[in-house]
Structure formats: structure tokens, C-alpha cells
């Protein structure tokens, strides 16, 4: 079936370095993607989103890149800080449900920022 998945379950980076978290998707018709951040003991928090008519979108210290050719998106965090330590999920509307309101979440990547 269609799925959204993550390449790596864990990522460790030095404080101040840039982080890149990857996500692969299998549905070529997917037209909208969301990145969420989930800190320990908290709910997923919206970070940034991107539509398929764009290949790049920037926020505060974060950039999402979308490569529709290889069905891959990435979340880049500049100058990673200890507060960035969390699990990061990519999500897309669930095409199998018939409702764009349902989201399919990837398994998540645990980002650990080292001092």
C-alpha cells in the first residue's frame, strides 16, 4: 500500500551543526506534506508544510525540500540547538481513506543534539 516512511530512525548531531532529516513517500499523487516535531512527553507540534507545486520552503531555521522525481522530502535544521532534540515526523494526507483530512504519519526520526 501507499506509505510514508523515514530512512533512519535516529540521528545525532553536534550543537551548532546543521541537521537533515529525510522522508520517502510512495504515492506519486501526494500533493501536500507536513513536518511535525514531538518532544518527550508532548504532542506533535506543526513545524512547516509544503505543497507539491513547490520544491523548497523556508521557515525560521528550518527548510523543507521536496524532490518529486524521487519522491523524497527532507527537513533541514540550521544551527541545531539542544531544544531541537525530538522525534520528527513527516505526514501526508491519507490517499487510501478518500478523505484528505486524514493524515498518514511516518515512523519518525529521533534527533539527538550533542553538546
Partner 1 sequence: DAGVIQSPRHEVTEMGQEVTLRCKPISGHDYLFWYRQTMMRGLELLIYFNNNVPIDDSGMPEDRFSAKMPNASFSTLKIQPSEPRDSAVYFCASSLSAGKETQYFGPGTRLLVL
Residues that bind partner 1 (CB under 8 A): 32, 34, 36, 42-46, 49, 89, 93, 97, 99-103, 105, 107-108
* Closest distance of CB 105 from partner 1, Å: 5
Of 89, 104, 108, nearest to 30 (Cα)? 104
* Closest distance of CB 46 from partner 1, Å: 6
What is the four-CA torsion angle of 74, 78, 83, 84, rounded to 10 degrees? Answer: 10
* Closest distance of CB 107 from partner 1, Å: 6
Which of helix, strand or coil describes residue 83? helix
Helices first, then strands: H and E counts in the chain: 0, 11
* Closest distance of CB 70 from partner 1, Å: 24
- Which CB, 13 or 103, lies closer to partner 1? 103
The whole-angstrom separation of Cα 101 and Cα 14 is: 37
- Which CB, 18 or 45, lies closer to partner 1? 45
- Which CB, 2 or 49, lies closer to partner 1? 49
- Which CB, 32 or 61, lies closer to partner 1? 32
Amino acid at each position: 500500500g501507499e506509505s510514508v516512511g523515514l530512512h533512519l530512525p535516529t540521528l545525532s548531531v553536534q550543537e551548532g551543526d546543521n541537521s537533515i532529516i529525510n522522508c520517502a513517500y510512495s504515492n506519486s499523487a501526494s500533493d501536500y506534506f507536513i513536518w511535525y516535531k514531538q518532544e518527550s512527553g508532548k504532542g506533535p507540534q506543526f513545524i512547516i508544510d509544503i505543497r507539491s507545486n513547490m520544491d523548497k520552503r523556508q521557515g525560521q531555521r528550518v527548510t523543507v525540500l521536496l524532490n518529486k522525481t524521487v519522491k523524497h522530502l527532507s527537513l533541514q535544521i540550521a544551527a541545531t540547538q539542544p531544544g531541537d532534540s525530538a522525534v520528527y515526523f513527516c505526514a501526508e494526507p491519507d490517499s487510501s481513506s478518500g478523505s484528505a483530512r486524514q493524515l498518514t504519519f511516518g515512523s519518525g526520526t529521533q534527533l539527538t543534539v550533542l553538546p
